[in-house]
Every structure is written in C-alpha cells, then in structure tokens.
Amino acid sequence: MASRHTPHGFTPTEARQSRRLLTVIALVSAFFVVELGGAIVADSVVLQADALHLLMDVLALGVSALAMRLAVRRPTPRFTYGLRRAEPVAAIFSSLLVLVTTTLIVIEAIGALHGHAAPRPGVMVVVALMALVVNGLSAWLLHDAIETPHGRGHAHAHGDGHGHAHGHGHAHEHAHGHALNLRGAWLHLLGDTLGAFAALVAALVIRYGGHPAADPIASFVVAAILFYGSLRLLRDATLVLLEAAPRHMPVAAIREVVVGFPGVTEVHDLHVWPLGAGHDAITVHVRTESDDPAFGERLSSHVRDLLEAEYVTVQVEHSSRLGSPSTQTSETSLGPPSRSP
C-alpha cells in the first residue's frame, strides 16, 4: 500500500492544517502594520488593544506551526512515542499569552476611562471593518481545518510470541490530531475578530453621539471573552500533560468493549491516556481460556478499530485446563494508511 504521509510526516489532513496555519500567519503579519497605524491615527483604545493582540498572535501562531512540525516526527529511542506532547505545550503557551494580553487590555481600558480623549470614529469604522474581515477570515480558515473529517486506514499483523498483543500506528487520519494546538491559535484569532467587532460597535456609537467611554468598555467585553476561552484551553492542555483519560474515551466504556469481546474472562490493569489531542493510547491485561494464538492480535485490532486509538497494547494471560496460567502472545501493528480509492 502506498503511504498517505507527506515528506514532512504529515497525513493529507495534517498537511492541509499546516498550510492553513501558515496562510493565516502571513495574513496576520501583513495586517498588523495596517491595524497598528490605523489605531494610532484613530486614537482608539480598543483598536490598539486589538493590534497588540495581533502582534501576540504572530508569535503564538509561529509557535503553533513549530509544534505541528515537531508533533509528526517519528518516534526515536529517546522519545519512544514521538513528540505529540509539543502541541499541548504550545497550547499552554498560547493560553498564557492570551491571559497576559487580556491583562494589558484591561489596564489600558481602565486608564482610558479616566480622561481619555474621544477617538476619531470615522477612522475607527474603516480600520475596524478591515480588521473584522481579515481576522474573521483567518479564524474561519483555522476553524475549518480543525473540523476536517477524517478517514480510515488499514492494518497488517505479525507475531513474535512475547506475552502481549500490541497495536499501534497512524491508520486513522485524525482530523483532530492537531485540534488542541489549533484551538490555541484559533482562540487568538477569535479574540482579534471580537476585538474588531467591538471596535466597530464602539465607533458607530461614538459617531452617532454616544459617549466616548464606549471605546474602553468594548475592550472589557473582549477581555472577558478571551479570559474565559484561555482558561478552558489551559485546562484541556494541562489534562493532556497529566495523562488524564480523554473525555471521548472513558475507562468504563473501554472496559465494556474489552469484556464484551468473545473469550475474555477477566480484565485488569486498564489504562488510557492521550499522547496529544486526538492521539490516544490504551493498555490492558486480559485473561482468557481461548487457545487461539492470535487471540491478543484480534482483541487489540478490535479495540483499536472500534475506539480509533493510535496505540493499543493487550497483555494476554491464558489459563490451561489444569488451571495453571500461561502466556502466549502475538503482535499487531498498523502500517502507514493506504490511499483511498
């Protein structure tokens, strides 16, 4: 079967996500200069806050792009699961950066409430509209990449007789393989889009006779949304690093799948943890009275295909007719995904 990985180690879905991210970086970098200049001319606090956040975006998006490259590197003798954890680390960096930016926005807005001169609403409207289009387009590009549907792959097997059955690989083209990392990037862009919208509303309010305080008040609204989103992202990324069982793959559900497999009489030492968002690992010990030497191979393939885990290891304990336990193993592994017909 032909490999569906690109020369950089990306699956087609991951390559598309990477291209989208690089496109967004180019758009944001180019527009930062425009928005900052417009914010200074308009003397708008909310536009300056949005431009500051845009500058932070360039750094955060660059870190996200680097993390994507690291995450698809092949396992090594030192990093035996690869570098999937680079992405939750990047997500934590992004969330902390958003929190710092949010704090700066609030400080600037508080200062603007005390005697700040009224901004130029005409310039604000033009710049805010441009920012809304650019940031909205950038956020949509990333969100569309996160939501890309995923495909299925194939498996091949080989035996080694060492007491466990092991399934692993990249047969599933996880649409959410970089979701946590891209969520961090998307959160930055969402904040910029909301900032641009808030600036537009404030500009229209001031233009049609409203109080100039509408400018800093709009900044508070943006800050509140950013604060909430960054805390959620920080929580999710931290749970990955702490190896918490993924919410979409609860231990009870996995145990039910294993126990329900024909021939399994006992299940213990069941563990599940995320290697990175969308890339999960499962290990389990089972006891069986089956004499089938391929029992462990069949069970690991069943669990892997049903739950779409990237790595599945099954330790099989066979019970003889005399009641003395014995072990017999086979190993299954997933090869590179095949091309869709």
Q: How many CA atoms lie within 13 A of 22 on its CB side?
A: 9
| Residue 161 in tokens | 């007789």
Rounded Cα–Cα distance for residues 200 and 189 (Å): 16
Q: Point out which residues pair with 164 in neighbouring strands.
A: 315
Q: What is the pLDDT of residue 130?
A: 92
> Which sign does the torsion angle of CA 331, 337, 338, 341 carry?
positive
Q: What is the pLDDT of residue 181?
A: 64
| Phi-psi domain of 56 (left: phi exceeds 0; alpha: psi -120 through 50; beta: other) | alpha
Q: What is the pTM of this model?
A: 0.67
DSSP code of 148? -
Contact 286, 315 (CB under 8 A): yes
Q: Which own/partner pairs from 9-14 qualify as long-range (CB within 8 Å, at least 24 positions apart)?
A: 9/72, 9/73, 9/74, 10/72, 11/170, 11/173, 11/174, 11/177, 11/337, 12/173, 13/148, 13/150, 13/151, 13/173, 13/174, 13/175, 13/177, 14/68, 14/72, 14/173, 14/177, 14/178
Q: What is the pLDDT of residue 116?
A: 66
Rounded Cα–Cα distance for residues 5 and 9 (Å): 5
Q: What is the pLDDT of residue 334?
A: 42
From first to last of the 341 residues of the chain, give the pLDDT tens digit. Answer: 333 444 455 677 777 777 888 888 899 888 988 988 988 888 887 787 777 777 777 877 887 788 778 777 788 888 887 888 887 888 888 888 888 888 888 888 888 787 667 778 888 889 889 989 998 898 888 887 676 444 333 333 333 333 444 444 433 444 444 566 677 778 778 877 887 888 888 889 888 888 888 888 888 887 887 788 788 888 888 988 898 888 888 899 899 999 989 989 899 899 998 887 667 889 999 998 888 888 888 898 888 888 888 888 888 887 654 454 555 443 343 433 333 33
